[in-house]
Amino acid sequence: MPYILQTDRLTKIIGEKELVRDVDLHVRKGEIYGFLGPNGAGKTTVMKLVTNLWKPTGGRVLLFGEPLAPTSYGVLKRMGSIIEFPTFYPHMTGRENLQIHCDYMGYSRPKGVEEALEQLELDDAADRPVGSYSLGMKQRLGIARALLCRPELLILDEPTNGLDPAGIKQVRDLLKRMREEYEMTVMVSSHILGEMEAMADTVGIIHRGRMREEISLRELEGRGTSYLHLTVDDPGRASVLLSDVMHLGSFRVMKGGIIRIYDRQASPQEVAGVLARHHVAVEEIGRRSETLEEHFLKLTSEEGSTWES
């Protein structure tokens, strides 16, 4: 089985709104797969489709080598997930919420609830009503619930929402440990690149409902993309000149009068000359190498548009 999770031209349309279109993703057994994209890019939609919460308009999902169907109960029991924000019975304790989940799903692993509470450092709060939990504690309880059955595949949608930096690191370290100790495969979505850089093996980048790229971080680190960096006194006018006079399609206007040009044919001499002839002062110009963060931002922003960074 080359992939533990795979989608083939996955599409979801509700009414006249196209949420995702022709999404192909490939998650290998035993890896942490980072699903990246801006808010609203389609990450949650894809995760609802691969966990059978929503049915696709087109395409298909393959889980453990089998097509996902409405009756795929056995396959779904091999998966743990958090999609959007986890919900609980607020009047019940953390321990009781986990236990009722075990009873409902038919899990009977001894000490599973206690292990999950300990792993997420919730043992001290286990006997308090969940209604008294903070946002971050509820998020950790949701992760504990997803881990209860030691799933082969763990699907987590923005699991560090509401967590402080210490909590984010705790979750990151836990997921890496689960992968190493139990050969668990993890698919985790985020719009924060730093989280993925710290733990993912492979990333898939989605934007406006379309998969833009799937690549291992090792391969990405080996890329050496460069861009032309310039600082000008009038970035608005410079942007118009780059687009209408030089016909450059791939550039971004940043804060502080900074423009990054990704078109390879654009030379510093030509750009400086055009701007100077149109009375735009160039304070700095030269080639620089693109960082990982800049690569992701380039893929998930519109060409020629402004991106605040």
Q: How far is CA 136 from CA 22, 162, 164, 197, in A?
A: 34, 5, 8, 22
Q: Starting from the edge strand earliest in sequence, which strands make up the sheet with 210-216, in order?
A: 79-82, 153-157, 185-190, 32-36, 202-207, 210-216
pLDDT mean over 66-87:
89
- Distance CA(9)–CA(215), nearest Å, equals 18
Confidence of residue 308 (pLDDT cuts 50, 70, 90): very low
- For the chain, the domains span 5-221, 224-299
The pLDDT of residue 269 is 92
Confidence of residue 141 (pLDDT cuts 50, 70, 90): very high
The pLDDT of residue 301 is 67
- Residue 195 confidence (pLDDT) above 90: no
The pLDDT of residue 67 is 94
Structure tokens at 135: 């946002």
The pLDDT of residue 309 is 30
pLDDT mean over 55-82:
92
The pLDDT of residue 304 is 38
pLDDT mean over 234-254:
89
Concatenating the DSSP letter of every residue in 21-87 gives EEE--EE-TT-EEEEE--TTSSHHHHHHHHTTSS--SEEEEEETTEE--TT-HHHHTTEEEE-SS--
- Residue 186 confidence (pLDDT) above 80: yes
- Residue 224 confidence (pLDDT) above 60: no
**Answer CATH for 224-299 from 1.20.1260, 3.30.70, 3.30.300, 1.10.3470:** 3.30.70
Give whichever of 5-14, 112-121, 198-207 has the largest mean pLDDT.
5-14
- Residue 300 confidence (pLDDT) above 80: no
- Residue pair 144/152 in contact (Cβ under 8 Å)? The answer is no
The pLDDT of residue 291 is 62
pLDDT mean over 195-210:
90
The CATH number that domain 5-221 falls under is 3.40.50.300
Structure confidence by residue, pLDDT tens digits, 273-288: 999 999 999 999 988 7
The pLDDT of residue 303 is 42
Structure confidence by residue, pLDDT tens digits, 16-47: 999 999 999 999 999 999 999 888 899 999 99
More confident call, 142 vs 299 = 142
pLDDT mean over 75-90:
91
Residue 168 bridge partners (DSSP): none
- H or E, element range at 245: none
- Residue 305 confidence (pLDDT) above 50: no
Instruction: Compute the mean pLDDT over every residue in the chain, rounded to the nearest whole number.
Output: 88
Q: Is 180 left (phi over 0), alpha (psi -120 to 50) or beta?
A: alpha
The pLDDT of residue 34 is 94
